[in-house]
Amino acid sequence: SDMQKQEERGELLQPLIFVLLVLCSVLLYFKVSLMDPGFVKPEEEEGENKGQGVIPQIPGDVKLRRCGYCLVKQPMRAKHCQLCQHCVRRYDHHCPWLENCVGERNHSLFIVYLSVQLGVLLWGGHVAWSGLYFEQSWEWLQHNIFLLMSFLLILIFTIVVLLLLVCQLYLISCNTTTWEFMLSHRISYLQHSELENPFDQGIILNLWRFFC
């Protein structure tokens, strides 16, 4: 049959990989959006600051405080999210597309999701572009308007995801979060620190601690 011949020539391999990539992207989306991002539980003690590493540069006069909303003892780098109604460990930001916070437990999966999504968009953009052949006529525009709009939409999403991924990787390489980067002047443990970023341990170690 024609399908067997296409399989023998390897023509079905690329569409299969693309479908698997899209499926992986969808599964990652639901995983990141539905999982616990690192909510601070009421029964946890303030000393149980998991995954933060040794931070000797933080001044001793900075005291960990009790959250004014959910009344739990906030570990270092935690922040209360009013949309989730929880304090989140190593809070990065609340993502409106995921309807969930990005924090200590799902941050690395969020980066993987962005990377897979970028791959899907680049591949989809390539497919859309390869299907376009340009002619300066109204008839051409009528026949290709859907494909052209699809390509432009994919291009916009690709730029957004690429910029977000690059920004996230930069912050990870500095061992800081979006919240700390944007509002460092309002965060007590950064205000009283002698260093601009007391968590930075070098690019290689920062990346190793985050992903491994």
User: pLDDT digits over 61-86, tens only?
Assistant: 556 678 888 888 888 899 999 999 99
| Residue 97 burial class via C-beta count within 10 angstroms: exposed 0-12, middle 13-18, buried 19 and up | exposed
Percent of the chain with pLDDT over 70: 80
Question: Which positions are catalytic?
Answer: 95
**In this structure, is residue 195 part of a structural domain?**
yes
Q: What is the mean pLDDT of residues 99-119?
A: 96
Residue 197: give the domain boundaries. 2-37+105-211
**In this structure, is residue 176 part of a structural domain?**
yes
What are the distances in angstroms from CA 93 to CA 72, 157, 182? 19, 20, 10
How far apart, in whole angstroms, are the C-alpha atoms of residue 35 and residue 23?
18
- Is 60 exceeded by the pLDDT of residue 187? yes
**In this structure, is residue 84 part of a structural domain?**
no
How far apart, in whole angstroms, are the C-alpha atoms of residue 67 and residue 181?
21
Tell me the pTM: 0.82
Q: Check residue 10 and give its pLDDT.
A: 59
The amino acid at 112:
V
Please count the structural domains in the chain: 1
